[in-house]
Structure formats: structure tokens, C-alpha cells
Structure 1
Amino acid sequence: MSAHRPARAALLLLAAAVLSVLSGCADAGKLESAGPTPTAIGPTRLWPERQPASIPPLDYGEGETETVRGIEVPGDDVREVNPVDVVRAEQAAHPDALSGPDGMYEETVRQLRDCDTKPKSCPVLKAYHRDLTGDGGAELIIGVSMPKGQLSVRCYLAEKGRLTRIMGTSDAVIGVSLAGRDLIIRAPSNLPGYEYRTAWSWDDHQHAMLPTHDEILRVDKESGETLPSHSHTTTPTATTTPGGRP
């Protein structure tokens, strides 16, 4: 006898009992239809005959990690790490970088060298310590201010006494904020009244922070608040989904 038959018999008995109960309910109050169910509209694939791409688009650094040379983290506590030392170590490892997360202006490099004697002009901003990975420990968030409104944002994870950079990006930046464990970066757009928003989130598989949400949003010029979308048929509300620059 098949092992599934006893289960099927039990299901038949259960179904009969349910029908009996529903029949009693119908006699008492009669079940009424809630109306027709709206037809679900799924995505329509355009140009299905087209061959999918096999080569990824231009990579702008997501998913890249790197151990910071010469920096030790006692007890894997990132609060014991000097942010200026971290940025100096990375600049020393990539002295010729002109773009990307390690790229710096010559002026910024000079200011970095004088952080000890001229702290007010030091480009390394106040460091933040937040749990970005969800492991219960704090990660290190560093910002490096540069000319023309440019800001380099870098995040680091301490593992086995070493410091690993799990995220790095550099761009013209309006502001940076944290929403839960997401790091949200706002950047200006060439379109008047709009801005880019990118949310970077921890990815266990890649073991790095990835740009998981990218959006271009309409904002109020004075308050900087996100304006309602006029594409909705319901009462518009402010968009709260973090996004960012592709």
C-alpha cells in the first residue's frame, strides 16, 4: 500500500467535516460572495527573442573588500581604531588612486598629513560605530570630506584582529543617514528638483555592503523632503523607500 493513502484518507475525512461545518453556517447566516476577484496583471516581457547579456555593465566598486594594511583591532572593537590612521593607511596603499573609493585630491592628501597639527582642517570627519551586519557588534563608518562637495564614505568590519573595508564610494553628496542597518547616501541630480538616493545594505553571501536600492526622487527645494508621486491613483504620500544613484 502506498504511504500516501492513509494521509489522503485523513484529508478526505477532514474535508467532509469542514463541509459539514460550513453547511451548518450557511443554514444559519448564509455565506455571501465578496465579489469578483480582480485579475492579476503580471509583468509583460518585451523583446523576448533578444539574447540576454552575459557581460555585466560597468562596475563602480560594489562588493569589493580589502584588508587595511598595518591596522590592528584589539578584541575586534572598532572603537579602539583611530579613523585618521585608517585613512592614512589606505592612502599609503593606493597613493596614485585618482578615482573610486580610494581617490583623493592633492589638497585632501596634504590635509590628511597635517591632521595631528591642524585638526580643524583634517578631512576625516567624526566616525560612527553602528551594527551594519546584524551580528550584534559595531562596524566603523568613516567619511572623508573633499573639495567641490565630494565625500568619500567607507565602512569597515573587524575580524580576527584585522580591519576589512566592506564598502567604499566617493561622490558629490547632499547627505548621509542610517535607516536600520541601511546606509543611505543622497546625491544631487542634473534634473532640477530631483536627487539620487542609494541605500547600501549588508550582503552575507558577498560579505560586503551592496547598493541594494537605487532611486531618483522628486524633492522640495526648501525643505529637502521627498514630494508625493503623481503617478498613483490613490491619495499620494511621501515616498519612504530609500534609494539612490545608479
Structure 2
Amino acid sequence: MNRSRLALAAALTAAAALLVGGCGDPGGPRGAGATPTAEGPTHLWPDLPPPSAPAEDYGAIEAVKVTGVKVPGGDLHKVDPADVVRVDFIQNPGTYEPSDTAYKKTVERLKDCAADNSGGTGRCPVLKAYYRDLTGDGKDDLIVGISTPDDNLDIRVYAEEDRRLTQIMEMSDAVLGVELAGRDLIIRAISSLPGYEYHTVWSWDSHQKTMLPTSDEIVRSANASRPKSLPSKASDAPSSRSPRQSPSASAPDDGR
């Protein structure tokens, strides 16, 4: 037997020893252990009677016509957002009661918006307006934030149809930030649980003809603290989102 064959025989002998010793991989199938038994969902209280009335955590959500505001050419870019809010607040208190102090003070401050544009008192509570097609009709809708005296942010969205103005969303909360993601409006708000915040996604519902809260969750936040103050008028509001500091929408200014 020549040297090459001897070397080959020695190599084969060593490989066989490794396999016998368990150091090699036979390449065959291996057991993964016991498979857990699949369990279907367990229905609790199957005989529970249906509720007599739905819960309305967000209030009665419906589209509201805003009268007295003209929309030239059906273009919401040509309408003064402060004028829209001023008329709408008087017609539609929304989440507020007309007797609420915060509502009354907001209505009074809205009267100052026209004066602010000409060097007035600087009390106009309307933040910078944003524009985005949320309804999918190919036309920009108007998104407005109103800083209220109760340290909340009232958010209202308006659509145009046949040159008429319709409020398709209204909510008020201790808002930490607002984001636009496609045709969704995502609102971050303070939770009563320390270290957590609410994330609510509002989406257009073509059947209801209004924006609905389609997703609502509570998530962990590193610092869910409310800013001490909100910008008092549109010119003071940042143009992009600053987490936990800016209540204005975070998308790039589509507003032209």
C-alpha cells in the first residue's frame, strides 16, 4: 500500500472515530421534543346578554355641516382656517358643553384671530393648519388644532363637498403629538397610568362619512409628560413634530 492510500485510510479511520464518538453530524432528522397541544379560544360567560346600548367613549361621532363659510372653487386652501374654526365652534361645541368655562374662553379668544393677523393681542388659539386628502376623493381636507384653556388640544377636520363645508372629525384631549400617516391621523395623548400614553388612529369611514377611531391602544412611553404650554397661534406652531412638545401635525406642510 503506497503512502497516499495509507494517508487516506488513516483519514477515514479518524472520521469514523469522530462519528462513533458523537462529534459529527449524521445529517438525518432530529426530534424537536414534545409538541405542545393546540388549544382553541375559551369563551367566557357564553350566556352573557347583549348590552342594551353601545358605549360612546368618543361621544356621538357624526359629520356636521358648517354653514356660513364659503369655499371658493371648492378649494379649502382658499379659506381662512381661523374663520372656519370660529364659525364651527359657535355652531358645534363638540366635546364641550356651551356652559363650560373652557368653551366660553375659547370662543372669546377666537374673536382675536383676525386682530392677531394685524398685530393684535396674540391670543388666537388656532394653530398652524395642515392639508391632506383623508377622504380619498382627490381633494385636500383641512386639519386644524385649537389650543383650549383647559390645557387640551381640540382637533377638527373639515372636508368640502359641492362647495359646502363639513366637519368630519372633532376630538379634544391632553395631546402629546399628532401624526399624519397616509390617510390616517394618529393622536398621542396622556394616559392616567404613569409612563404610558394612548395612541389613537382616526381613519375615514366611507359608510359613516366621517373619521372614526379605528385603533386605540395604550403603549409604554419613556417620558409621557404634558408640555407646560401650547403655541397660542398658528405662527408660533412648529412646522414639524417634536415628540412630547408639539401638538401640531407632523407631516411636511402640504398646505402650499
Same fold (TM over 0.5): yes
Q: 1:45 aligns to what?
A: 43
Q: 2:136 aligns to what?
A: 134
Q: 1:107 aligns to what?
A: 105
Q: Displacement, 1:37?
A: 9.3
Amino acid at match of 1:92: I
- Separation in 2, partners of 1:100, 1:174: 23
Q: Secondary structure at the match of 2:115?
A: coil
Aligned partner (choices 165, 169, 172) of residue 170 of structure 1: 172
Amino acid at match of 1:99: Y
- Separation in 2, partners of 1:166, 1:71: 15
Q: Report the RMSD for the aligned CA atoms in angstroms.
A: 3.0
- Separation in 1, partners of 2:155, 2:99: 10
Q: Displacement, 1:98?
A: 7.5
Q: 2:74 aligns to what?
A: 76
Determine if contact 1:100/1:170 at 8 Å carries over to the other structure. no
After superposition, what is the alpha-carbon deviation per residue over 1:118-173, rounded to whole angstroms, capped at 9, x for unaligned? 34321011111101112222111011111242110001110001010110001111
Mapped pair 1:88 → 2:86: yes
Q: 1:187 aligns to what?
A: 189
Q: What are the equivalent positions in structure 2 for 1:111-122 lying under 5 Å apart?
A: 111-119=109-117, 120-122=122-124
Q: Displacement, 1:71?
A: 1.1
Mapped pair 1:157 → 2:148: no
Q: Displacement, 1:61?
A: 2.9
The verdict on how the C-alpha distance between 1:147 and 1:49 changes in structure 2, with shifts beyond 3 A counting, is same
The verdict on how the C-alpha distance between 1:79 and 1:42 changes in structure 2, with shifts beyond 3 A counting, is farther
Q: TM-score, normalised by structure 1?
A: 0.69
- Separation in 2, partners of 1:44, 1:99: 41
After superposition, what is the alpha-carbon deviation per residue over 1:1-46, rounded to whole angstroms, capped at 9, x for unaligned? xxxxxxxxxxxxxxxxxxxxxxxxxxxxxxx9xx999866443211
- Separation in 2, partners of 1:79, 1:38: 60
Q: 1:201 aligns to what?
A: 203
Determine if contact 2:168/2:210 at 8 Å carries over to the other structure. yes
- Separation in 2, partners of 1:130, 1:102: 33
Amino acid at match of 1:66: V
Q: Displacement, 1:52?
A: 1.7
- Separation in 1, partners of 2:80, 2:179: 22
Q: 2:149 aligns to what?
A: 147
Q: Secondary structure at the match of 1:134?
A: coil
Amino acid at match of 2:164: R
* Structure 2: unaligned runs, 5 residues or longer: 1-28, 227-256
* Structure 1: unaligned runs, 5 residues or longer: 1-31, 225-246
Amino acid at match of 2:112: D
Q: Displacement, 1:54?
A: 3.4
- Separation in 2, partners of 1:129, 1:176: 13
Q: 1:18 aligns to what?
A: none
After superposition, what is the alpha-carbon deviation per residue over 1:62-98, rounded to whole angstroms, capped at 9, x for unaligned? 5311110101212221111111111111233247x77
- Separation in 2, partners of 1:39, 1:155: 50
- Separation in 2, partners of 1:101, 1:178: 30
- Separation in 1, partners of 2:84, 2:174: 22
The verdict on how the C-alpha distance between 1:125 and 1:222 changes in structure 2, with shifts beyond 3 A counting, is closer
Q: 1:124 aligns to what?
A: 126
Q: Displacement, 1:223?
A: 11
Q: Displacement, 1:59?
A: 5.0
**RCO higher in structure (CA 8 A, sep ≥6):** 2
- Separation in 1, partners of 2:37, 2:202: 36
The verdict on how the C-alpha distance between 1:142 and 1:42 changes in structure 2, with shifts beyond 3 A counting, is farther
Amino acid at match of 1:77: D
- Separation in 2, partners of 1:80, 1:196: 34
